[in-house]
Amino acid sequence: MAKNLLIVESPAKAKTIEKILGKDFEVKSCYGHIRDLEKDEMGIDIKDDYKPRYIVPDDKEKVVRELKQLAKKSEEVWLATDEDREGEAISWHLCEVLGLDPKTTKRIVFHEITKPAIQKAVQNPRTVNMDLVNAQQARRVLDRIVGFELSPVLWRKMSMGSSLSAGRVQSVAVRLIAEREREINAFNTVSHFKVEAWFTAQDSGNRPVGFKAEGQRYSNEEGAEKFLQSCIGASYSVSDIQVRPGKKSPAAPFTTSTLQQEASRKLGYSVSKTMLLAQKLYESGRITYMRTDSVNLGETAMEGISQQINAQYGKRYFQARKYKNKNESAQEAHEAIRPTYMDTISVDDPDTRRLYELIWKRTMASQMADAELEKTTAKILISTNKEELTASGEVLKFDGFLKVYREDRDEEDMTEEEGSESMLPPLSLKQILPLREMRATERFNRPAPRYTEASLVKKLEELGIGRPSTYAPTITTILKRGYVEKRDKDGTRRDFRILKLDDRNVIKQMDHETTGAEKSKLFPTDLGLVVTDFLNQNFNDVMDYGFTAKIENEFDEVANGKRVWHKMIDEFYNPFKKDVDNTIEHAERIRGERDLGVDKESGKKVVARMGRYGPMVQIGDVNDEEKPRFAKLKSGQSIETISYDEAMELFKLPMTIGEYEGQEVSVNIGRFGPYVKWGEEFVSIPKGEDPVTLDIDRAVALINEKKHADAPIATYEGIPVTKGKGRFGPFIKWNDLYINIPKAYDFDRLGQKEVDELVSKKIEKEANRYIHQWPAEKISIENGRWGPFIRFGKKMLKLSRKGDGGKYTEEELAGITLEEVKKMIEAELPGAFDKKTKPAPAKKAATKKAATKKAPAKKALKGKK
């Protein structure tokens, strides 16, 4: 048994460090957080200075048990969790659970997993920094309060059940995306005419070279045409030449956010993928710690970079630089993200290679010489109107850092002119230039682009919202909750005008372009827009960018020992709680409704609104004698922008399109998308196909594909087993039991053996799921991830505590009566068992059926039977 037990967060890191430290140390992983806040009653004692109530989750009990046993046998326990606040909190939780004194237990931190760094850390241990722990606790507690107080407000005020959530950072991120979307929708496109002329001159080898010059812009066609008319018969001469030296400097080495941004732009990685790969590189000892907001590089790193640049490119390319953080709260003691060894140019692992090489190049470039340029600007005089055109060109005299790396930029930071400069041929004053072509082309101004993951991270950082560790989970949460979707947008055709100068005339032409195409952009959903509006209206503090950034600064003050964490929470909570109570009592229900007009056939109002299952269009009102008609919006349509005609198009469904094997075939859109209905069978229509234009031949093909897919692949206890792909991935179905297929199995090659394993495991799991069941009442007590709970229909409810305040044991729940459980349900859902009397149905007026497509002649279908 080793004398020392050293605990880290991840098993990959444990293996790397154990090799470095040798036989005196046993290195074990705690697999991240070992405790979390209780789910019951928020897990926080509001009345006792917001004291958190922590529990060890079920999935961590085994880890904790093993660590306790090892700690007892070891002479000394060392804590080596990550160096950020989250890591500090994990070290403190380990002290609490393992019975260690945080004032004396050795705590070590390191920025890189290399032998010198680990050995230096072991030689210079410290103890747990409670200021950092309290800063993490403050963030966790405040975010739990916001989530637990705000989310139920949304549940009460919107008919979407408990799937809604709100959060201090996530809701502000959605607000940014929502505001950008509305800015784009309200944008008024204005055109202008851009004058360009192409000339020819001789290069140094007397070869003719073409180059471009630009004139002024005109706000309308008349102005542009008048200018071109004034150029008829003109000669063109060089009136001025200016040559200016210029330079470009490299970007600072990577911080967490700049790495996320550049990996998105250059490699197309999502923020979460970037962090996953960076974590892998860090734990394998390849790069320094990947959660940092510092651009600082240590002396050891500078020496390694200097040697590498001098060896690879020569002394002229090296230029030592010290970068300064824009963020004043950045921890300068930390380093930027960099390779641990600069002489390692790449890595063998194919998953992480591209990200590693990006980090290596950026680090190298940050300490390299400026790129030296020569910029030439020539003015070209027009003889007939004495106006001037401007031609500019750039020559790279010394590549410097560009030899290794060039930083990409976000779409919104690019100007129309950028990238248009090229090299100019040698020109001299008064040189006459032959004109090849001159034209004025109509161009259009553009709204600010929608956010990508990278540009959203950049904006959050600029506003001071969140910190390096929060960006990836924030984006993951808003996508998962359905407030935002990441998707592509097809471009649309747009015509534009061109005016061309001919020898003696101005010729007008029309051309077209595709505009508005976007890739991997963040779009707010209607749900996101509606929830954002509600929160803005009722919780303007929480949604205010400046207020959210102020909270982040207060966390920093707690981390620096300048603020007491529970007092900071108290200042936030009291006014916030008043807003919550006031909103529950007085705010109207969220409707998210927009009037579109009146249905010409029925004379009833047409509205686009949020329904229980998402955005929809409704004809009529619930108070009308006849029930309202509903239609779900298609993907890409929005309550805010859908037109009356587009809305009415949705009511063409459901639509009968024919018959197949004696059963009616129809198309419709349901909760999970468009489908074909054939008898009692439902067949999904693939993404991208419009159900309105689907014909019987295509429907029959889809039906036959489903028939083939639904054919049994095996049997279990004599009952057939089928397979399919659903909303949550591939599954098999046996006896009304759906079984998700783990990644360890090859879904396309499932045989009887694999089916037996999967079904038997599921049956065993289901047997352990129920503690008590009352099927006729649709009530059960089940084992959940966080302990037993009540399932009532589709609702999941918490169990009440016993009379003495304690929790029920599983044995006590097994003998509990139905009446006792009903009382618990009533406590959470008052009136849950009241008998509801339905009003007598109103006499229905005759309604028109949706138009049906005629089935093709039976002769045409015979071959498909």
Task: Please list the active-site residues.
Answer: 289
Contact 519/488 with Cβ under 8 angstroms?
yes
CA angle 7–10–11, rounded 5-degree value: 90
Q: Is 430 left (phi over 0), alpha (psi -120 to 50) or beta?
A: left
Chain centroid to Cα 570, Å, comes to: 32
DSSP H helices, 560-643, are 565-586
Residue 631 class from Cβ within 10 Å (0-12 exposed, 13-18 middle, 19+ buried)?
buried
Which DSSP string corresponds to 722-786?
A: EEEEETTEEEEEETTEEEEPPTTS-GGG--HHHHHHHHHHHHHHHHHHEEEEEGGGTEEEEEETT
Residue entry with tokens 């229980």: 612
Handedness of CA 454, 455, 457, 461 (dihedral sign): positive
CA distance 860 to 742: 43
DSSP 157: H
CA distance 462 to 455: 10
Both tokens of 177, joined, read 């995306």
Count of alpha carbons within 13 Å of 414, Cβ hemisphere only? 13
Going by their DSSP bridges, the two strands 795-797 and 629-632 should be labelled as: unpaired
DSSP 294: -
Q: Is 304 left (phi over 0), alpha (psi -120 to 50) or beta?
A: alpha
Residue 662 class from Cβ within 10 Å (0-12 exposed, 13-18 middle, 19+ buried)?
exposed
Residue entry with tokens 């279990």: 716
Cis peptide before 449 (omega within 30 of 0): no
Handedness of CA 698, 701, 705, 707 (dihedral sign): positive
Both tokens of 325, joined, read 């953080």
Contact 493/514 with Cβ under 8 angstroms?
yes
Contact 492/572 with Cβ under 8 angstroms?
no
CA distance 666 to 647: 20
User: Does an H or E element contain 201, and which?
Assistant: strand 191-202
Q: Give the residue from 649, 582, 590 showing the smallest Cα distance to 617.
A: 649
- C-beta atoms surrounding 558 within 10 Å: 25
Both tokens of 111, joined, read 């920025």
Between 545-559 and 565-586, two packed helices, what is the crossing angle to 10 degrees?
Answer: 150
DSSP 457: H
CA angle 474–478–484, rounded 5-degree value: 135
DSSP 412: G
Both tokens of 457, joined, read 């991270």
Radius of gyration of the chain (CA): 34
N-to-C CA span, the chain:
74
